[in-house]
Amino acid sequence: MLGNIIVINRGDTTDLGVKVLDAGETVYFLTPEDTLYFGLMDPHQPFEFALVKKKLTSKDMSSTGGFVFKLKSSDTIDLMPGVYYYAVKLHRVSKELKIDEVITVIDKTKFIIND
């Protein structure tokens, strides 16, 4: 990975490590109501139309606040080699604080699939 750009061979497995930082640049620990999403998209396609979607919750968080999105071989084996884009978004929910918001953790970034 170079500057968050991911390059893999089609059909390979890979792990994408992510930490969510708050405005003060400290690690944000997800609450049980929060959800972290990964989406792999064609160029010029919105996140909602992602070809590959992954979802993690606070149960998937390490003790240091890190997450790992695991891409399996089956996630990319049927995709043509080329340039795609990925993004990671946090859906933050707190009923007591009346928070229901979506925050982009990693903006659209290149994801290159080689043959």
pLDDT by residue, tens only, the chain of 115 residues = 557 899 999 999 999 999 999 888 899 999 999 999 999 999 999 999 999 999 999 999 999 999 999 999 999 999 999 999 999 999 999 888 888 999 999 999 999 999 9
pTM here is 0.90
What is the domain range of residue 109?
6-114
Task: Tell me the C-alpha distance between 83 and 62, whole Å.
Answer: 31
Query: 100 in a domain, yes or no?
Result: yes
65 and 29 Cβ atoms separated by less than 8 Å: yes
DSSP of 70-96: EEPHHHHTTSPSEEEEEEEEEEEEETT
Q: Which DSSP symbol is given to 3?
A: T
Check which CATH number belongs to the domain holding 61 and give it.
2.60.40.10
Into how many domains does the chain fold? 1
